[in-house]
Homo-oligomer: A and B are copies of this chain.
Amino acid sequence: MSFDPSSLIYNDAGLVPCIAQEEESGEVLMMAWMNASAVAKTLASGNVTYWSRSRQSFWVKGESSGHVQKLVELRLDCDRDCLLAIVRQTGPACHTNRRSCFYTSIDDGEEVELMRPLV
């Protein structure tokens, strides 16, 4: 079956969440949002492209920072309302300069920092 980005289920803002996972390590790096055009751009360019809700514009990951995400594979879930991008991440994925955005763990009711910013 041929894939049509408009066949995904978008929220009221026209967005679908996309999880980025590092191909080699399997680490979950981040979650951000795409609209149908960002999905199409990601597939066409091979550069993971989100929709920035704060800036209301396309966000080619790493375009300014150099911390690009090269698309290895894009998957969709059973409900067609969530995407999983398998990527090769250059540098840190997080804007805090950490490898992953999920650097805080909840341990016995306390927030624990799992990783430090890369230097």
Contact = CB atoms under 8 A, between A and B. Distances in A.
A19 B28 contact: yes
A26 to B, nearest CB: 3
Interface residues of A, number: 37
Given A1-B111, A31-B17, A111-B2, A75 B106 contact: yes
Nearest to A79: B101
A76 B110 CA distance: 12
Contact of A78 (B84, B94, B106): B94
24 contacts: A1-B110, A1-B111, A2-B111, A3-B106, A3-B110, A19-B31, A26-B26, A26-B27, A28-B28, A73-B105, A73-B106, A74-B105, A75-B104, A75-B105, A75-B106, A75-B114, A76-B102, A76-B104, A77-B101, A77-B102, A78-B94, A78-B104, A79-B101, A82-B102
Given A28-B28, A75-B106, 19 more contacts: A1-B111, A2-B109, A3-B110, A17-B17, A21-B28, A26-B26, A26-B27, A31-B77, A31-B82, A73-B107, A74-B105, A75-B103, A76-B102, A78-B94, A78-B98, A78-B101, A79-B101, A82-B101, A84-B102
